[in-house]
Every structure is written in C-alpha cells, then in structure tokens.
Structure 1
Amino acid sequence: MSIRRQESTSDPVVEIELLLSDETVPAIAASEAEGCRFELEEFIPRGDDNHVEYYSVVGGDPGAVAEMVAEHEAREADLLSRREDAGLLEVLVSGDSPAMLLAENGALPRRVTVEDGDMTIAAEVPSSHDASAAIEAFTDAYEDSRLLAQRQQSYFTPLFSHREFEEAIEEALTDRQREALQAAHEAGYYEWPRQITCQELADRLDVATPTYTEHLRTAEQKLIQLLFEDGTVSEPDG
C-alpha cells in the first residue's frame, strides 16, 4: 500500500535539520553497536510524560536491537514484526526523547534517521512558532548536537486516498478497536496538550481502563503498520 504526498502552499514553514551523536540516546547507541539503521515512523503521546515511538529497523538482529533499547531505564521495547535483518519496533518512552523535545517546542519531526551512531532529524516549524527557540532548546538539551540546515519551504503532508484509507481501516481493525480509536480522536486524546485520559474514555464507553487501553494500543499498532508497510516488514504473528 503506497503513501502519496500532497503539497500545500498556504502556510510556509521553516524546515530545520539537526545532527545528534549522543550515545545516551538508545537508538543511537544501538545503531552503532548493531550496525543497523533506524527510521522513526511515528510517535504518539500517551500521557503522564510517556509517549510511543515506532521505528523501522534494517540491518543487524532486530531482536538484539530491541533488547539493547529496552536496557535503558526510560525505555520499553517490543518487536512488533520482523524478517531476518528487518523489523518494526515499538518503544515506550518515559520522559523526553529528541523527537518529542522538538515537538514540545513547536517543531514537528518529519524525518528521523539513525545510522552509524548519528541521528539526523528534519522538522518543520510553522509560522506560529519560533524556529530559533526550538533549535536552542534542542542544542541546550543535547550538547553533542548541531544545526545542519535551516530553510523555508511549503508543507508536504503524506496522505492515503480516502478510499484506500477506509478500506485499510475496515480490514485491519475490529469494531472495538475502531470504537476506541474514534472515541479518543473525537474527545481530544491526541491533541497537545491532551484533553482527556484513557480512564475517562473508558468510563465513557463503560469498559475497564485496561481493556480500553489494550484496544486503543492495538489499533494504534495496526495503523502504524498499515501506514508504513512497504514490503520490508512482515505481518506480526497472530
């Protein structure tokens, strides 16, 4: 399933590109130790200073990569699917990460790659935020980082066609998973700052909080796999 891009010229943004070589960041350390390449596919806030990052990993042993990332006290890693030297990795992060730090300062990461001990992040800063402030916050937090480029450009937003998206969702999600995801979206769960908690959403749907959380988490995982499946990563077991 392909992802198409549609250009909009209505709101120009500043694109910034940063380089980070801090081996205290688990993905950076793992890329150098295992000789693999990470690409950040998506990150999703979960509340309580937690968020989830989804990485495609190519090269090395995906299982060993997951174990190495999970050794960090602020990370939990789960290998969602794999094929020999490639996999899709879900990482639960407690506290900040490079991508989330930029997002919190108004810079939306569009491309994050990690290879040979270096992380390169390209992010877009809309006109409502200050690109210089986002850069300063990042370089202050990570001493071993520097700005590679800064330029003005138009938005490029990846989109499914409406028909493809509806068909993919219908096939991938159960009724409960779709209900959990729709309720979260409509109630502002994915807004920043978050407008509602998982417990409040569970109460609205009259289900136990762990049950609701599991439905939502599974729905998110399936969407990530649909959006970024390109033949490199196999379907998860079960």
Structure 2
Amino acid sequence: MSSGDTVDIERRLTELEALCRPPTSDGSATDRIQGVCDAIVEFLANGDAAAAVYLYDERRDVLCRRAGSPHRKTWDATMSLERTATPVWQAFVERDPVFVADLLPRPARPVQNPDHARGTVAPIGSHGIVLAGTTEKERPTRLSHSFTRLVGTTAGTVLDRIDDERRVDDCKRQLEASTVASERLVATNALHHDVGRTIRTAWTRADLEERVCKRIVTDERYAFARIAEIDEVTEQVCDRVQAGIEKGYLESLESDADTLADDGEPMATTIRTLETHTVSHLLGDDTGERWRRDAITRGYRSAIGVPLVFRERCYGGLVVYSDRAAAFDGMDEEVFFELGAAVAHAINALEAKTALVSRGGVELEFRVRDQEFQFLEWARETGCTFEFETVVSRPDGSIHGFFTIDGAPTETILELASQSPAVTKTHLVTERDGKQLFECTFTEDSVVAQLLEYGVVPRSISTSRAAARLVVALPESTSVRLFVDVFSRLYPDSELIRRQDHEYVARTPYGFLAELECKLTAKQLEALETAFVSGYFEVPRDATGADVAAILDISQPTFNNHLRLAQRKLLSMVFSERAFRGT
C-alpha cells in the first residue's frame, strides 16, 4: 500500500468518524436528516467523484433525491420501485450493494467485477440508497467502493438513531398531552361531581346559580363565570349572578340583547340561538366589537356560552371566561352543555317545588273549550264532572295526583284513563258522598306537568260538557304575560277570565310549608300528604293504612312509621310556633 493510499484511508476514516457523531438535536428531525444526506454527498463527492442520496417516500412509494453532487448530467428526482430487476430494487429492497457500469442519470447495467464499475449503489438501512462513483476518467478504486458501502451502513445507523429520537420525542409529547388530558378529565369530573352535589342540596334558584358559578371559578382554567337572562319586556341582558375576576366588565357591556347577539357576544348569542357558542381566540379574531375589546382589556382570551334549557324552556345562559386562548375544546363544549342542561333541570325542579308551597303571587282563571285539553274529553264523553284535588311530588321525581269523578262508573273512568296520554297507574282510592276519588301518575304530556314546568301550580281543575275551568297560581318570579302567551299557544280555544293579585303578610324566607318540607324526609312528606288526600284522617276513614300503603307501594308498617314521624315533626312545629307567639 502506497503512502498516498494510507493518507486517503486516514482522510476517509476521519470523514466517517465525523458522520458517526450524533447529529445535533437542534432543529426538527427533518432538518437533521437533511443534514446527514448533505454530509454523505460531501464526503463521497471528492474531485471527479459524484454522489447522491435517495430516501424512501412511503406516501408516494418511490425513492426521492434528498441530496446530490452537481454534474453535467442531472440526477433523476425520483426512482421507481415498480421494476424488480434493477440495481435500485436490489440495493433498497434486498439490502445488497450493487456495482454498476452507469451511474447517471440513474444507476444501470450491474457488473460483478468492481474494477469494471463506475459506481456503487449501497443501501442506507431501511431509509434509502446512496450512489457514489465516477462518470468519466478513472474508475473508482476498490477502496472507494468499500467506503461507499461503509458510509451507507453508517448513515443507516445514524438515521435509525434520529428516528428513535423522533419516536421518543413523539412519545414524550403524547405523554405530556395525555397527562394534560388526564388532569383536565380529573378536574372536569370533580366539577361535575360538585355541581351535582350543589343541585341536590340547593334550596333556591339564586342559591343554586351562585354556588355553581363560584365552583366553576375555583378551577384555575376559568377566570370568570356569569349567569344571565333576557328581560322579556325590555329585551335587555340582565345578569343574575357572577363569580371570579370581573374587573368592571359587566358595567362596560351594551345591554341590548339584539345588538349583542348581532356582534357575537357569548351570552346574548347562546340565549338567542339556544346553542353552545364558543369564542376560542378573543385576541386573534376580529376585535372590532366593543364587547370583545372590553373582554380582552380585562385579560380574557376565550369564552364559552351554553343555554340553560329544560324541555324547551330557557332559563337564561351560562358564560365562562378564561385567561387562556383556546381553553375550550370539543370535550369542554360537551361538558358545559350537559352542565347547563343539568342546572336548567334543577332550576325547573326548584321552581316547581317553590310553587307547590308558595302562597303568594298571582291567581289566574281560564275557561278552556279546546278539544286537546285533557279531562274535558272525559266529561263530554260520559257526562261526568271532573275535579282536580291535589298533586304530590314523589321522591323519584314523578308527579302523583288525585282527582274526583261524579256521574260516571268507575270502570268507564279507568278505561278512559288507560287510553289517555296524560295519566298512568290510575286506580280507585275510595268513594266519598257518591263520588269516586282516584289516584294517578301525571305524565310529562299532562297539563299538570306542563304547568309545573313553568313554576305554575294548578289550584283547581274542573270540567263539564261545556268547558273546563282552570285556576292556577303563579309565583312572583313568573311573568304573567309570558305564561298567558304560552298557555294560549298550547290551548288556542281558551280565554283568561279572571286575574287576582294576592298580598300576604310577611313570613319567614321559605314559609311554613317550606320549613315543614325541610324538616320532613321526602318519604315522610309523601306519606303525610297522601294519607290526608285519600281520607285517612276522615271520620270514619275513607282509606285504611293498608290502602294508603298500597298507593305508596310500601308495606303498612313502613307507612305507619313514616306517618308517625311526620305527624310528630308537624305537631312540634305547630306547638313550638304557638309557644313562641304566646298563644
């Protein structure tokens, strides 16, 4: 071996050592791979030598040129893998280096003797191929061919390492994303749990709304939460409750609902459309609207609004603001929409419960001739009179009621009830003064359930052949005009014939009945009210303990226990109140 060969070998080994050094971690994996390809060509294309690197493009199923030495003949941009008996196929697919007589514009004419070859096609692992050789003058030496194969093997190892690092980085990013998603899921589940507990324990709508907003802003992702509604008379957005960092934002808002909705303000928009409204980038989107500028000034970067809707009745909207851009994704939209529906359901239940014990508000009387009005059909078909007695809310959320029939056989009424969409589980409780007392469960389609949805309590329902007479009590929070409009749409052939406003002596915040309901369990209250309505306390009794127990679907000893505890709590309240008053 001559001294020149020794120097050449030392130089090539130095170049190979440089190639084997770990590529810098700066930049993307794509940039690092390109750097390796450029280095391979620089190492191999010395003097008259030519070199190129082709890497596999999985999407296109071809080898694409990533680097190549300049030459009079141009390297092909891609090399197809459709033909199997080619040097490219043998080197890349079979991983066997190939000596070729022609190198440009693509390797061709494989040869067995390296002394007759103009170049070498060597695999770069599973990544691609490297081409190196000469196109004129002297042919490459056997050492050059060997070095090309060695460079290909080494480059494959380097690219494997880059791929491994890329996969590790991807795993790290996925782990970080999974950790963030897991933390968000835990926080979301905690929010759901706490709001559910609030719904179960709140006694008034105001208490419920305040506690929900306060709980939302305890999550560091959310800066401010508010619940508002649109006043039906003034068409203004009226805030009911808010919590978190407000910074005077509400004072700066235009209050006209239509103007705000046209500008895409979350609260007005979600109430008007009854759909979720998300603003992911307050700062990045058009900041022309005043509400958006005011929100940005106070540090808000995204917001989500959801309607509070239960059975087509809207109780306003809930809007949550975050100081982070894009804080609400698809999962958040679904979560908050469900939360809004749950809050609306709870508001409906609270208003219905409040209405059942309410003594104030407005009393309205309607005359109804509409054929769709339930129970009127019974009177017209049988000639009987129907009288609504009372309604009882059961612990499972169902609505049970009692009604009296005069002038029709029991079997006829039971047959009509079995065909009516308004009632289920109808049965005779007792007969009193020639009239039959029935107990039933009112369905969601019944007029009783529809009234309670609006916080309106039926005080009296009576029917004859001519018409039905309905007397309802509206709490002070319910709009008379809105309710009359709704009722008229439900029953077009009806008219309001009387309105009476009631004024009552001031009393404790929840009143005697609310206090009684607070002291009694749901089952004790149900037992007491059902016993009273069914005639258990009449002399002589219209219903026995066994009869009432059967109505409640419990054993008689259980009924007796519930009733005894309820009576004791009721009497203690009555006599304690008398003692307090000195009477």
* Structure 2 residue 502 is matched with structure 1 residue 153: yes
Structure 1 residue 143: deviation in Å?
2.1
**Partners of 1:111 and 1:122 within 8 A in 2:** yes
**Partners of 2:384 and 2:407 within 8 A in 1:** yes
Deviations 1:107-156 (A, max 9, x none): 22222211215221111223222111111121112222221222323359
- Give the aligned partner of residue 418 of structure 2: 70
* Structure 2 residue 475 is matched with structure 1 residue 126: yes
**Partners of 1:23 and 1:117 within 8 A in 2:** no
CA distance 1:48–1:137, shift in 2 (3 Å): farther
- Give the aligned partner of residue 531 of structure 2: 222
* Structure 2 residue 447 is matched with structure 1 residue 138: no
Deviations 1:62-89 (A, max 9, x none): 3311221221244222111126851001
- Give the aligned partner of residue 376 of structure 2: 28
CA distance 1:228–1:133, shift in 2 (3 Å): farther
> For the residues of structure 1 that align with 2:460 and 2:366, how far apart are their CA atoms?
11
> For the residues of structure 1 that align with 2:442 and 2:369, how far apart are their CA atoms?
19
- Give the aligned partner of residue 457 of structure 2: 108
Letter in 2 for 1:183: T
- Give the aligned partner of residue 197 of structure 1: none
CA distance 1:118–1:66, shift in 2 (3 Å): farther
TM-score by length of 2: 0.27
CA distance 1:154–1:121, shift in 2 (3 Å): farther
CA distance 1:66–1:229, shift in 2 (3 Å): farther
- Give the aligned partner of residue 94 of structure 1: 443
**Partners of 1:62 and 1:85 within 8 A in 2:** no
Structure with higher strand content? 1
Deviates more, 1:14-23 or 1:41-50: 41-50
Letter in 2 for 1:69: A
> For the residues of structure 2 that align with 1:137 and 1:230, how far apart are their CA atoms?
43
Partner residue of 1:184 out of 519, 522, 528: 522
CA distance 1:70–1:154, shift in 2 (3 Å): farther
**Partners of 2:372 and 2:491 within 8 A in 1:** no
CA distance 1:226–1:15, shift in 2 (3 Å): same
Deviations 1:6-25 (A, max 9, x none): xxxxx853221112223344
**Partners of 1:109 and 1:121 within 8 A in 2:** yes
Structure 1 residue 42: deviation in Å?
0.8
CA distance 1:105–1:185, shift in 2 (3 Å): same
- Give the aligned partner of residue 313 of structure 2: none
> For the residues of structure 2 that align with 1:147 and 1:56, how far apart are their CA atoms?
24
**Partners of 1:52 and 1:91 within 8 A in 2:** yes
> For the residues of structure 2 that align with 1:55 and 1:38, how far apart are their CA atoms?
7
Letter in 1 for 2:535: L
- Give the aligned partner of residue 80 of structure 1: 429
CA distance 1:99–1:154, shift in 2 (3 Å): farther
**Partners of 2:364 and 2:500 within 8 A in 1:** yes
Report the count of equivalent residues.
175
What root-mean-square deviation, in Å, do the aligned CA atoms of Structure 1 and Structure 2 show? 3.6
CA distance 1:141–1:46, shift in 2 (3 Å): farther
**Partners of 1:18 and 1:145 within 8 A in 2:** yes
> For the residues of structure 2 that align with 1:227 and 1:117, how far apart are their CA atoms?
34
* Greater Rg by CA: 2
**Partners of 2:421 and 2:446 within 8 A in 1:** no
Letter in 1 for 2:370: D
Secondary structure of the structure 1 residue equivalent to 2:399: strand
CA distance 1:229–1:33, shift in 2 (3 Å): farther
Deviations 1:159-215 (A, max 9, x none): xxxxxxxxxxxxxxxxxxxxxx942168xxx8xxxxxxxxxxxxxxxxxxxxxxxxx
Secondary structure of the structure 2 residue equivalent to 1:135: helix
- Give the aligned partner of residue 163 of structure 1: none
How high is the sequence identity, in percent, across the aligned residues?
A: 21
**Partners of 1:41 and 1:228 within 8 A in 2:** no
Structure 1 residue 30: deviation in Å?
0.9
Secondary structure of the structure 1 residue equivalent to 2:472: strand
Partner residue of 2:402 out of 32, 42, 54: 54
Secondary structure of the structure 1 residue equivalent to 2:428: strand
* Structure 2 residue 366 is matched with structure 1 residue 18: yes
> For the residues of structure 1 that align with 2:369 and 2:380, how far apart are their CA atoms?
10
> For the residues of structure 2 that align with 1:70 and 1:84, how far apart are their CA atoms?
25
CA distance 1:82–1:125, shift in 2 (3 Å): same
**Partners of 2:367 and 2:496 within 8 A in 1:** yes
Letter in 2 for 1:113: S
**Partners of 2:456 and 2:474 within 8 A in 1:** yes
> For the residues of structure 1 that align with 2:428 and 2:478, how far apart are their CA atoms?
35
Deviates more, 1:120-129 or 1:19-28: 19-28
**Partners of 1:29 and 1:117 within 8 A in 2:** no
Secondary structure of the structure 2 residue equivalent to 1:226: coil
Q: Which runs of 5+ in 1 are unaligned?
A: 1-10, 157-180, 191-215
1:31-46 alignment, distance < 5 Å: 31-46=379-394
